[in-house]
Structure 1
Amino acid sequence: MNIPSFKEDQVSQIPALQLLQKLGYTYLSPEEVDNLRGNKTASVILEPILRKQLNEINSIQVSSTKMALFSDANIENGIQALKDIPMNDGYIAASKKIYEMITLGKALEQSIDGDKKSFTMQYIDWKNFENNVFHVTEEFSVMRTGSKDHYRPDIVLFINGIPLSIIECKRPDIKEPITEAISQHTRNQQEDGIRHLYIYSQLLLSISTLQAKYATTDTKEEFWASWKEKSEENEKIILDLVNQTLSGTQKAKLFLNRKEWEQRIIELKEKEQVTVSEQDRYLYFLCRPERMLALIQDFVLFEGGTRKKIARYQQFFAINKIIKRIQITEGGKRNGGVVWHTQGSGKSLTMAMLARKIYLTIRNPKIILVTDRVDLDTQITDTFRSVEVPVYNAKTGNQLVELLQSKSDAVVTTIVNKFEAAVNQLGSTPLESENIFVLIDEGHRTQYGTFNVKMQKVLPNACFLAFTGTPLMKKEKSTAQKFGGIIDAYTILQAVEDGAIVPIIYEGRHAVQDVNQKALDRGFDSVSEPLSDYEKVDLKKKFSRANLISKTEQRIDEIARDISDHYTQNWGLDKTGERSGFKGMVVTPDKATAVKYKKAFDLIGKVTSEVIMSAPDTREGNDDIHGEPSNEVVAFWRQMEVKHGKDFDVRLIRDFKKTDYPELLIVIDKLLTGFDEPRVVVMYVCRKLRDHTLLQAIARVNRVSQGKEYGFIVDYEGIIGELNEAMNAYSDFNEFDDDDLAGTFTDIKTEIAKLPQLHTELNAIFKHVANKWDISSYAALLTDEAIRVDYYQKFLEFAKILKLAFSSIDFENNTPDKTKELYKTHFKFYAQLRISIINTYSDKIDFKKYEKQLQKLLDQHVTTEEVIRLTEQVSILDAKAFEKELEKVVGTRAKAETIASRTAKHISERMDEDPIFYKKLSELIRETISDLRALRISDVVAINRLKELREQAISKKSDDIPEAILQNDKVIPFYRLAKANDFISDDYTIPFAMEVDQIIKQYSIVDWSTKPDIIRKMTFYIGEFLIDEMHVSIEKADEMAEKCIEIAKLNYR
């Protein structure tokens, strides 16, 4: 039966190199690349290619009839400028300088006919992509910073000799191949890595045949993105491409330094039709020359000077749709429309990238960004400035009118009331330019009213583009058609599926409070006696019982206590004093109530909190009928000003984002929209929220952050679901289409309902364990790696939902104590078993993602005499530490398994250094464990035998090494290799080993293992010695020489 190979080269790297050539890249072997950079592995630019391209794509327009070329000196200056990028200001700052240089060009002075002027040299021809040259290489060896060692990215893509994309390939049968590939990119970008390569790269890919992800440099793992672009046309194009055959020349070059059998396997695969893989799709969608240039030029940006970002697919397609749409004019007016991209998916950056694209695409544009809040206006302004788009902030209507009437192009930000003032001021003098673009953020609903008529009169030809992060109501959808309809939609469900946001879990936790209804009504009648019947109805409507109840101090104290317990149990300090790093927000109805919550939290003393609100004289959030702030609020405000200064809210928000304190922010309206802090994991809702305000508010918890699996909405007001009519229930979402709201949140009960099944599935793994009281019986079952992997996964799923359950008041109140105790007992046992098994079998587990959450669950809900922790495994080289760890292992058999697995891991990591020696040791370990499991030897015998093997693995010595070479560690592996082959007689084993050592030493130079010509020389002379001195056949000599080279690569550095 013919079966495919799972070797990384065969299954991922070679297919990628083949497809990239079919897409238009010219393959360069590692040897050719080394020659192009003068064999300097610290250099990453292919200078001869860049030099040639700078001459070909650049010219100077002297006059309408005369052209000139850049001088040779300036060509060299341009190359040197690209190379001489200082790292003093940081990695991202250096990357930004390079990005600006390759996208905008480099200004260079040159004299033409005696006239010295500055001219811009371009490194890439952005207008005509076919004028550039595209190359691909593999195993690109780059010297590390501060070291003679090298890292070798699998694939590097060059445009005009500049390395603009780096790809890591992984075989799909390893655990979490994409995570491993991302980890390799991350390692390469460390200070002691190869940052001097990555500062040029704009696009990073991690591919593994069936999976792929992409990012740009300095992107954390959780922000690596998926790309979706499915269409029958695309699939057909890719299918045709992968089934094309490379030319004979391309094949010969690709397989020049590869084994013959590798080429044979690829050719056998190509005899039948090949299916399109996910890897193929990503390479086509992101790396084909025209697309990659578009991504780099228009869809990479630097946010705040410290973060570099590349567009997600929905941003890319939405912007391109808009640019295409605004080119079309009807009656002198460009087409506009509405973009709905769910909150948290990068809507502000989409606007920033769009404004930049319009700015560069449309001649003399005037771009106006309109928001509905001052803080949103500030955020948008900062976003634009951070992406290097010049921005004017119009703070008054007059200022905005001046900017609109000026003839220069401009990007202007303003808030909606200033925009209205400007429109009113312009009145009967309309601005008829069709190059005015109005981008409206979350304020587009304002334009659906009478104000829209005024806008149309004053800006009759302007293009209106509205952006929203919340679903459109049914009535808004019909009105949106007047502005060109919905241009693009990226729903909540899509964002959750893509990992752009985290799913939101909703839980209603209503405070129990006895209300004397008659007394309450009598009190109301007394207060409202002076009012007319109409005023009484109006007052009663405004001050519903729910509103009164929600502000009573008794209820505030009760909820504050519940919030304190809920937050500390789930995200507060653990037993070792470590913090989760996650924050919370408390939403209150008004300033007076916010201050009361603050005092309640301080009195309880479990969590730190601060209040964020506008100054008391703004009347914001006051529900008192006279609109005056209470003395308590004024006193609090003055106290904060004395303590922290006038702009204390700015400092508190900064502290909330950057430090551990405060843990909770208490808010009214401010920060419910436009506030972006990924560490906010929970929102406690203690007031009614409606429609878009509700949807915007709950989105504060959906941002992605490391270790954050959900965002939580804890509802004390009944904002969703069935509520008592007497409490003036919040209306449901009938105004929205069901499909648009899909995925907004999941009721916590829905998730907890999965717990019994997860518990059953976890227990089912061990159903065949005969003695349920014997830990060794469980461990014996888990000797099978496939069962272990299944166990780890099912345990983590069970633990995740169990943690969720114990955070729920409904679970606590309605689940029988017996069931809860059973879950706790089983969780504790399986947690201890997991740690024991990981240590026993030396399994590689990315525990950083999970351990804090598991520990929190143990700390809060499971009583245990000793804190159970998973730590990094100790190396057997550290004898004392290993023996100490071994003492903790329960049971002699488990000790034997631990010694065996840890020694086997040590051997596996070093196998290629001395394959004969380590292979023999590995077989002896397997034999010992096999005898132990079959009860052919006792636990004690196994432990003693394994300890001896462990000592041999550490010392790398054995009794069969002759005295003549005993002290030469580098010669010994060659001696063992010779002894293992019958065609080398005993008389020649030592001379052979010594000769190989001399050949390697004679021809090795710095980084010799990456230079094919050096390797060929060594292989030739080793083979020649075998043939001439020992009369070995050519085939066996070649095979033996190759094995020697592989050993030498690891031992002669």
Structure 2
Amino acid sequence: MDKYTLVAENPESTVVSEYQPHFRRETSYQTEAELEKAFIDQLHMQAYEYLPITSESELINNLRKQLEALNSYQFSNTEWDQFFKSKIANQNIGIEEKTAIIQEDHIQLLTRDDGSIKNIYLLDKANIHNNRLQVINQYVVDNGQRPNRYDATVLVNGLPLVHIELKKRGVDIKEAFNQINRYNRESFWAGCGLFEYVQLFVISNGTYTKYYSNTTRFTHIKELGNNIVRKGKLTSNSYEFTSWWADAKNRPITDLMDFGQTFFAKHTLLNLLTKYCVFTSEKLLLAMRPYQIVATERTLAQINVSYNYKTFGTIRGGGFIWHTTGSGKTLTSFKTAQLASKFPFIYKVLFVVDRKDLDYQTMKEYDKFERGAANSNTSTSILKKQLENLDARIIITTIQKLAVLIKKQKNHSVFNEHIVIIFDECHRSQFGEMHSVITKTFKKYYLFGFTGTPIFAVNSSSNSRADLRTTEQAFGTKLHTYTIVDAISFHFSLFTFHFSLFTFHFSLVTWNKKMAASMEAAIFFDRYFTEMGMA
């Protein structure tokens, strides 16, 4: 059978494959107003509708029109008043509840004048391009703790879901971050509290641009301070949670205009809002980082290609993800498993770890992301029942339990179903007889490995089987890479780190070549010094 190779990526990929700047970057002085106008003009070029509204009454009227258009339904004045006050602007709900509405409960029930019930969609998550994007600026809130004027906000079907705060070039980007925190304290909750629906914040000084989610913590009570009673809840954000946007090659896209063309591309922003945010059981909103999204989408694409070209059950039907330790592989694997389980042709997703303690630990993490989404097991018999249960779509287990099940249930019908098998930290324990038994038993498997320490020919063990010595031999092609080099480039503002590396260049080179036990560390230093011209 021919080997099919990816020659082009879907133009609807959330993260652009490789970004080449199309805009002349401003190098001269640019006021905040000029920066704001240039950014809004860019969004307008990308088919965002610009709305010259600056007051809450105008915002509410527009929200009604947008929801009517999305749902192809005309509210009566009575219906709208009841729906708006009870479902959208309920005075008893705050940021947590509003985030839950957007992420988990975006279809609300309307009681019509005749007593019948109708579903009203706040977002169309099945067909994201049915959602309408608008941008407003200089929106005024004068009924909060003090008057505030917001820079720019993106409305999705009339709801403010993305807020942008700008500073002129040369001003520290943290000034924009601090200003959003001030708005959280002073006015986002004011009036009908529509700005508590904001899911993502973007901060920029033109040269550097970052994004972060509207995470809500239970420490909001401590933030109130001074015994001031305010309606609504506050966010407890840290600048450390902000992220750079990047292309699929992990190159940060920092200039505001470049960021606008990529991050604010309609399909990218809508995918991020509707698919790649995770509202955890601890009421924290996590916005996935670009490398996590790329890894997820490439794994899903590989599953689709393998199904369509019938390469499942072979090494060509899977692949591996090389993401460095501490980069959030558990979240990436969770989202991959969650989305893969929704494919109509996939029967189960098995998430396989190599130790019992990791079984429990992974289950705890998955439960944080979505309670009840995955199923763990304490015995092989429970694993068997879960494999037969149509409602258990994602199963976490150990390779040892899976191997025992295969030995005891050699003719089980599940072995003929389409099964996605994801190995976490595919170390050497998967490179032996257990790996072979699993791949020989499951007839329609899609095999994927997530690792921070892949095994290559140069660091493979001569004691293992010759055909399973490397990660690629065991799992197939490498689908995406995010190494320690990329992690550092995502935090390239740490000048001290680079200066230290330069200062101790010679000793580090010696350490790299003679003492490095980790293949990733060796590759990191070789690549780093080459790029820095110090090799």
What TM bracket, shorter-length normalisation? 0.7 to 0.9
In 2: Cα distance, 1:338 partner to 1:350 partner: 13
What is aligned with 1:423? Answer: 406
What is aligned with 1:194? Answer: 188
What is aligned with 2:294? Answer: 317
Letter in 2 for 1:492: I
What is aligned with 1:84? Answer: 90
What is aligned with 1:331? Answer: 310
What is aligned with 2:33? Answer: 9
In 1: Cα distance, 2:442 partner to 2:343 partner: 21
What is aligned with 2:381? Answer: 398
Q: Deviations over 1:680-726 (max 9, x none)?
A: xxxxxxxxxxxxxxxxxxxxxxxxxxxxx99xxxxxxxxx999xxxx
What is aligned with 2:448? Answer: 465
The Cα of 1:185 is off from its aligned counterpart by 1.5
What is aligned with 2:360? Answer: 378
The number of aligned residues is 450
* Alignment equivalent of 1:162, drawn from 159, 164, 178: 159
In 2: Cα distance, 1:501 partner to 1:171 partner: 19
What is aligned with 2:245? Answer: 227
The Cα of 1:20 is off from its aligned counterpart by 0.7
The Cα of 1:356 is off from its aligned counterpart by 2.4
Letter in 2 for 1:137: I
What is aligned with 1:498? Answer: 490
What is aligned with 2:23? Answer: none
Q: Does 1:298 align with 2:275?
A: yes
Mapped contact 2:30–2:168 kept (Cα < 8 A): yes
In 2: Cα distance, 1:171 partner to 1:183 partner: 15
- Per the alignment, in what secondary structure is the counterpart of residue 247 of structure 2? coil
In 2: Cα distance, 1:48 partner to 1:412 partner: 46
In 2: Cα distance, 1:303 partner to 1:501 partner: 30
Where in structure 2 are the equivalents of 1:444-843 lying within 5 Å?
445-474=428-457, 475=460, 478-499=470-491, 733=516, 736=519, 740-742=523-525
The Cα of 1:410 is off from its aligned counterpart by 1.6
What is aligned with 1:153? Answer: 150
In 2: Cα distance, 1:76 partner to 1:392 partner: 43
Change (3 A) 1:283 1:404: same
What is aligned with 2:330? Answer: 348
Mapped contact 2:209–2:244 kept (Cα < 8 A): yes
In 1: Cα distance, 2:517 partner to 2:327 partner: 25
* Alignment equivalent of 1:50, drawn from 42, 54, 63: 63
The Cα of 1:412 is off from its aligned counterpart by 1.4
Change (3 A) 1:501 1:323: farther
In 2: Cα distance, 1:430 partner to 1:208 partner: 59
Change (3 A) 1:469 1:293: same
Mapped contact 1:109–1:119 kept (Cα < 8 A): yes
In 2: Cα distance, 1:151 partner to 1:33 partner: 11
What is aligned with 2:127? Answer: 128
In 2: Cα distance, 1:111 partner to 1:425 partner: 61
Mapped contact 2:140–2:147 kept (Cα < 8 A): yes
Q: Does 1:140 align with 2:139?
A: yes
What is the root-mean-square deviation of aligned Cα atoms in Å? 3.7
- Give 1 or 2: higher helix fraction: 1
Q: Compare 214-223 and 195-204 and name the one that shifted more.
A: 195-204
Mapped contact 2:209–2:254 kept (Cα < 8 A): no
The Cα of 1:226 is off from its aligned counterpart by 1.0
In 2: Cα distance, 1:143 partner to 1:383 partner: 42
Mapped contact 1:355–1:367 kept (Cα < 8 A): yes
Letter in 2 for 1:397: T
In 2: Cα distance, 1:71 partner to 1:172 partner: 45
Highest Rg: 1 or 2? Answer: 1
In 2: Cα distance, 1:85 partner to 1:477 partner: 61
The Cα of 1:409 is off from its aligned counterpart by 4.8
The Cα of 1:281 is off from its aligned counterpart by 1.3
In 2: Cα distance, 1:721 partner to 1:378 partner: 41
Q: Deviations over 1:655-694 (max 9, x none)?
A: xxxxxxxxxxxxxxxxxxxxxxxxxxxxxxxxxxxxxxxx
Q: Deviations over 1:517-575 (max 9, x none)?
A: xxxxxxxxxxxxxxxxxxxxxxxxxxxxxxxxxxxxxxxxxxxxxxxxxxxxxxxxxxx
The Cα of 1:184 is off from its aligned counterpart by 1.1
Mapped contact 1:99–1:200 kept (Cα < 8 A): no
Mapped contact 1:370–1:416 kept (Cα < 8 A): yes
In 2: Cα distance, 1:466 partner to 1:166 partner: 37
In 1: Cα distance, 2:91 partner to 2:266 partner: 26
Change (3 A) 1:98 1:472: same
Mapped contact 1:163–1:197 kept (Cα < 8 A): yes
The Cα of 1:433 is off from its aligned counterpart by 5.0
Identity %: 22
**Higher RCO structure (Cα 8 Å, ≥6 apart):** 2
Change (3 A) 1:85 1:394: farther
* Alignment equivalent of 1:413, drawn from 392, 396, 402: 396
Change (3 A) 1:452 1:53: same
Letter in 1 for 2:247: E
The Cα of 1:388 is off from its aligned counterpart by 2.1
The Cα of 1:312 is off from its aligned counterpart by 0.9
- Per the alignment, in what secondary structure is the counterpart of residue 397 of structure 2? strand
TM-score by length of 2: 0.74
The Cα of 1:419 is off from its aligned counterpart by 2.0
- Per the alignment, in what secondary structure is the counterpart of residue 84 of structure 1? coil
The Cα of 1:345 is off from its aligned counterpart by 1.0
- Give 1 or 2: higher strand fraction: 2
- Per the alignment, in what secondary structure is the counterpart of residue 385 of structure 2? helix
Letter in 2 for 1:439: I
* Alignment equivalent of 1:210, drawn from 190, 207, 210: 207
What is aligned with 2:177? Answer: 182
What is aligned with 1:106? Answer: 108
In 2: Cα distance, 1:435 partner to 1:28 partner: 49
What is aligned with 1:281? Answer: 258
The Cα of 1:167 is off from its aligned counterpart by 0.5
Letter in 2 for 1:164: L
- Per the alignment, in what secondary structure is the counterpart of residue 30 of structure 2? coil
- Per the alignment, in what secondary structure is the counterpart of residue 136 of structure 2? strand
In 2: Cα distance, 1:203 partner to 1:428 partner: 49
Change (3 A) 1:15 1:463: same
Change (3 A) 1:738 1:49: same
Mapped contact 1:366–1:435 kept (Cα < 8 A): yes
Mapped contact 2:431–2:474 kept (Cα < 8 A): no
Change (3 A) 1:74 1:416: farther
In 2: Cα distance, 1:465 partner to 1:388 partner: 22
What is aligned with 1:95? Answer: 99
Where in structure 2 are the equivalents of 1:889-1038 lying within 5 Å?
none
Change (3 A) 1:281 1:189: same
The Cα of 1:98 is off from its aligned counterpart by 3.8
* Alignment equivalent of 2:421, drawn from 428, 431, 438: 438
Mapped contact 2:483–2:520 kept (Cα < 8 A): no
Change (3 A) 1:379 1:433: same
Unaligned runs of 5+ in 1: 40-45, 60-68, 236-275, 506-708, 711-719, 723-730, 747-1053
Change (3 A) 1:504 1:144: same
The Cα of 1:156 is off from its aligned counterpart by 0.5
Mapped contact 2:418–2:445 kept (Cα < 8 A): yes
- Per the alignment, in what secondary structure is the counterpart of residue 206 of structure 2? coil
In 2: Cα distance, 1:384 partner to 1:467 partner: 16
